[in-house]
Homo-oligomer: A and B are copies of this chain.
């Protein structure tokens, strides 16, 4: 039935899809990939359908979809008669998220640029405008032309912060 040259170990599946073996095992653990057959010695054996599914996962992740989004897409894809509005919705929502994120990063960038512009790097730390700005009152870092009530600003900043946190570790 099954031709031997269609079967592959976890390393070969990784090669075929660009996903590391550790990650494949992780996907199996969280039940994003089904448990594959095993050799007598316990090695996982994969088949072409695993390659397809893993590629689907990888591409979705590359587009920034979360594991839970991918899980939903895979589940939606199984029921071939279901209307695909939900698939469409998921992708559009994600685009919307991205727009927000891009906007936030651009605001952040502008604030940093203002900070950097206040310093030419020639002086001493004691008179460094960057450090002063970080130490001093809020206005120094606020956007110049946007009027905004105190509490709203604090709230928005908290949001920025939560998002900013994820940006850095990359």
Interface residues of A (CB under 8 A from B): 18, 52, 55-56, 58-66, 69, 73, 76-77, 79-85, 87-89, 91-92, 94-95, 97-99, 101-102, 105-106, 108-109, 111-113, 115-116, 119-128, 130-131, 134-135, 141, 154, 157-158, 160-170
Contacts and interface: CB of A to CB of B under 8 A. Distances in A.
Q: Which residue, A128, A161, A169, has most C-beta atoms of chain B within 10 A?
A: A128
7 contacts: A56-B135, A64-B105, A84-B121, A84-B128, A88-B130, A166-B166, A166-B170
A113 B91 CA distance: 8
A53 to B, nearest CB: 9
Given A80-B124, A88-B120, 6 more contacts: A62-B161, A66-B168, A81-B125, A88-B128, A102-B109, A105-B105
Given A80-B124, A134-B59, A158-B18, A166 B169 contact: yes
Contacts of A82: 124-125
A47 to B, nearest CB: 16
Nearest to A100: B170
A27 to B, nearest CB: 14
Nearest to A52: B135
A23 to B, nearest CB: 10
Contacts of A169: 66, 166
